[in-house]
Amino acid sequence: MSATRDQWRTAIACGDKHAVTLRGYNLQELVGKVSFAEAWLLLATGELPPPGHARLLDAMMVSVLDHGIVPSSIVTRYLASAGTPIQAAVAGGVMAFGDTYGGACEQLGEQLAGHVPEIRAGRGTPAEAAGEIVKHFMALGRKVPGYGHALHPEGDPRVPRLYQLADANGVTGEHSRLAFAVQDELYRAKGRKLPMNQDGALGALGLDMGLDWRLLRALAFVPRSAGLAVHALEEMTRESGWRHVPDEEITYDGPPPRSLPKD
Ligand SMILES: CC(C)(COP(=O)(O)OP(=O)(O)OC[C@H]1O[C@@H](n2cnc3c(N)ncnc32)[C@H](O)[C@@H]1OP(=O)(O)O)[C@@H](O)C(=O)NCCC(=O)NCCS
């Protein structure tokens, strides 16, 4: 039953004069006993995760924490240089996460989450599902999200490390197996290697941990926010303030100077 419009309800957490409760557990009991990764998976899935899931999530968050001067940190640093509050500078950087940069895990995740129940029910194989996923994006004239990398054409070095840990911690599951089948299918369709990138691995492993595909981008923007906060501080304290693009890097190719028509 849905709540009425003027009522708020949540199954996540609640607090009163004496205690805060997360998914039924007393927060004071959790503090000091569970890691941030375990507590977040508790919020996100409703249950405390198996220890291997939390260990892998922690490793995933470290792998996303910071990548130096990239679109999100450039936005954060621009905003910080303009004197915005630190949280506004971080929020701006997070908003740079989109379908092409930093957010591809969601689009791939939606497809994987749609196909895995069908495979489980015996309606098709991973190879067939992978073929449908590649066709789906190609029919839209789009690249398959989660594969290819401008900097690492031979393969994103973070992915084998994450899967080494995912295997060791018992996380790798059906979504990851389908994601690797998509990689094989993409190779066949494009005739070139387009290995799974970090976004693809975050999406597939997040689903293997039981996350809803609509939550997958949080795997990128939650840890990166922590990195962006430090970028904002460095910009405020080490740089001269008010960033702008140098004139020699700007090309104006609109109409030449002209006058308004005479009345
Ligand atoms: C990340 C990305 C922008 C890197 O691009 P790039 O290495 O500069 O590659 P290009 O855009 O120059 O593409 C080179 C060729 O590979 C193809 N290609 C690259 N990534 C592809 C993908 N994910 N799916 C299908 N084809 C892809 C291009 O269509 C192009 O093929 P063509 O020569 O037949 O036209 C690109 O791979 C992409 O958009 N991937 C999907 C989005 C994604 O996962 N983003 C997260 C990145 S961490």
For residue 14, how far is its CA from the centre of ligand 1 (angstroms)? 44
The model carries a pTM of: 0.92
Output the residue whose Cα is nearest ligand 1's atom 29: 143
For residue 145, how far is its CA from the centre of ligand 1 (angstroms)? 9
Output the residue whose Cα is nearest ligand 1's atom 26: 143
| Closest ligand 1 atom number to CA of residue 102 | 46
Which structural domains are found in the chain, ordered by start?
Answer: 12-49 (no CATH), 66-97+217-238 (no CATH), 104-215 (1.10.230.10)
Which residue ranges in the chain fall short of pLDDT 50?
Answer: none
For position 78, what pLDDT does the model report? Answer: 96
Pocket of ligand 1 (CB under 6 A): 100, 104, 143-150, 186, 190, 194, 197-199
Output the residue whose Cα is nearest ligand 1's atom 2: 149
Long-range Cβ pairs for the range 4-12 (8 Å, 24+): 11/46, 12/43
For position 244, what pLDDT does the model report? Answer: 87
Output the residue whose Cα is nearest ligand 1's atom 7: 150
For position 2, what pLDDT does the model report? Answer: 67
For position 3, what pLDDT does the model report? Answer: 67
Output the residue whose Cα is nearest ligand 1's atom 36: 148
For residue 201, how far is its CA from the centre of ligand 1 (angstroms)? 16
